[in-house]
Amino acid sequence: MASTVGAVRGRGSAVGELDVVGEPRVLVRRSLPSEPAVRGSASLFLTEAQRQGVRAGRRMLYVGPEPASEHVAAGLRVEPGTPVLARRKLLLAGDVPVRVATSFLRLDLFADTPLCEPGFLSPSLQARIEEQGHRFGRAEEHLVARPPRDEEAATLRLDPGEWVVQIVRAAYSADDLPIHVLETICAASRHVFDIAQVSGADEF
């Protein structure tokens, strides 16, 4: 069922009208690229949502090894099917699921480290990576709009016909070592993507 925007609350946030089962559809913003201060915060999503006036929540779904898919393997420079560390969480706006975000890390770099611990990492995943001696060098992000897989539709409580936007961010160290692939599956009807250009590096 299509969602309609009913009212605007705070900076960059909107709440849709109630659907037939009485559940609101929430519209949240995702900036591309993320501001450094937001990217370096304890939670990118919680920080973004707070700025938008959205009550946000998160729930850890899984921490452990799983085979790398093709796009994750490409980002981490391993063979598809290679076991990698996955840290998967569900992100909510109010009580509405809006994203499933999964961090993938190479087990040859991070096995038997605090990054394998269950639950959310304190002070942040970024800080835990840096504790292992890695310094950020660059990142690439790719967006793909597609129909959801069955488990994605169930987790995000999507209506028939709703799509997702898959964002894959591959981050590399200053030594060009593949450190972190973040796959975010966004409910397309619940998001607006703000894309900014670097000042002085574009044209009218």
Q: What is the pLDDT of residue 161?
A: 95
Q: What is the pLDDT of residue 39?
A: 46
Per-residue pLDDT of the chain (204 residues; tens, 9 = 90+): 333 222 222 223 333 333 434 454 556 656 655 555 444 444 677 777 677 667 788 999 999 999 999 999 999 999 999 999 999 999 998 888 999 999 999 999 999 999 999 999 988 899 999 999 999 999 999 999 999 999 999 999 999 999 999 999 999 999 999 999 999 999 998 888 877 766 666 666
Whether 152 is covered by a domain: the verdict is yes
Residue 183 near residue 102, CB atoms below 8 Å: yes
What is the number of domains present in the chain? Answer: 1
Whether 13 is covered by a domain: the verdict is yes
What residues does 157 pair with on adjacent strands? none
Whether 202 is covered by a domain: the verdict is no
How distant, in Å, are the alpha carbons of 39, 131, 153 from that of 181? 14, 18, 22
Whether 201 is covered by a domain: the verdict is no
Q: What is the CATH number of the domain that holds 121?
A: 3.40.1410.10
Whether 179 is covered by a domain: the verdict is yes
Residue 4 near residue 17, CB atoms below 8 Å: yes
Whether 204 is covered by a domain: the verdict is no
Q: What is the pLDDT of residue 10?
A: 27
Q: What is the pLDDT of residue 14?
A: 31
Q: Using CA atoms, how far apart are residues 64 and 53, in angstroms rounded to an integer?
A: 33
Whether 69 is covered by a domain: the verdict is yes
Q: Using CA atoms, how far apart are residues 78 and 64, in angstroms rounded to an integer?
A: 17
Residue ranges making up the domain that contains 18: 5-195
